[in-house]
Amino acid sequence: MANKNLTIWTNAKLSDAATKILRDGIGEHRLIQSGVLEKSILAAGAHDPGLDMADVAFGQPAPAQVIAAGNLRWVHLTTAGYDRYDTPAMRAAVAARDGRITNSSSVFCEPVAQHGLAMILAQSRQLPVALANQMGAKAWPIGAIRAGSRLLAGQSVLILGYGTIARRLIEMLRPFDMRIVASRRKPRGDETGARIIATDAVEGELGMADHVVNILPGGGETAGYMNAGRFALMKRSAVFYNVGRGTTVDQKALESALRCGQIAAAWLDVTTPEPLPPGDPLWTAPNCFITPHTAGGYDTEPVKLAEHFLENLRRFTAGEALVDRVI
């Protein structure tokens, strides 16, 4: 790869500053910009003839076209999630041409972990109650809010998943002296910062957790993972958080768990569908707090996406291991 000038296709919708960084950073490589930029990093792009000429794709290319594009050696996604590309057909096609797919987990792990921590702290310090009072009665409910506030020390958190975001969240939670458990499909024994359990042992931990943080990726294996049965195993005082994918939660079961008091509260950054329709019952479910898929967002996000791609481009041309390789 070292001496080859590559053709790089992109449909990434970047800021002007990030686009300049990208153009300046690719050097002598050729850049093809799609005529139809991604509408959202959460949706795959449309079929584009330019992709058929590319060695490298940066953005959200159409999965079917990636499978068919015989020249395409590397796809770098502008998301942390990659479930629409994680199919047997895609894996077979990529393997057949010695290709690879990377994502942008390194760009999003810090903001999503911070968002998750902010949710946990807001719940523990009763911020929703104080804000609701400010927007409504404007009373001074000092006694109720102080009595309902909790210290994190000694509380238990169960994190569903052990990817880049989960590992960063664990680092942030450790100073609070919490009991931290995380689930992983196949524990390796070299994990740090938390007690790691296999996915099939989660049911035994749900009833002991004060906070259950879902960071599971989307896909067939995780669809509706948090269902009525698993919500029923949680403590009535426990709080559920979702900063992973909306498809991993049975939302009707979650709404029911909130309305009947099976769990104390839920904090959601992701839902299905997105946007969540105004009439969806989760908007009015008791103690359900929703942010509109903003956990991964921050002011320099487009620049970081471009810089992350360029670092992997350097590695790719040098024959080095790529960061955030998923396939």
Chunk the chain into consecutive blocks of 10 residues (it has 327) and report each block's average pLDDT, rounded to whole numbers.
Answer: 80 96 97 87 84 97 96 96 94 97 97 98 98 98 98 98 96 98 95 96 98 95 97 98 97 98 98 97 98 97 98 97 97
Active-site residue identified among 73, 293, 301, 308: 293
Note the pLDDT of residue 41. Answer: 67
**Using the 8-state DSSP alphabet, how is residue 78 labeled?**
S
Active-site residue identified among 274, 307, 311, 325: 274
The 8 Å CB, 24+ separation contacts for 168-172 are 168/109, 168/110, 168/113, 169/112, 169/113, 169/116, 169/117, 169/213, 169/215, 170/194, 171/113, 172/113, 172/114, 172/117
Domains and CATH numbers, the chain: 7-103+299-318 (3.40.50.720), 108-290 (3.40.50.720)
Note the pLDDT of residue 125. Answer: 98
Q: Which residues are registered as beta bridge partners of 100?
A: 74
- Alpha-carbon distance 125 to 152, whole Å? 10
- Alpha-carbon distance 238 to 263, whole Å? 6
- Alpha-carbon distance 242 to 267, whole Å? 6
Strands (DSSP E) found in 253-298: 265-268, 288-290
Note the pLDDT of residue 278. Answer: 98
Tokens at 187, concatenated: 């524990």
Note the pLDDT of residue 3. Answer: 45
Give the pTM. 0.95
Active-site residue identified among 245, 255, 301, 308: 245
Based on the residue annotation, tell me whether 274 is a catalytic residue of this protein.
yes
The size of the chain, in residues, is: 327
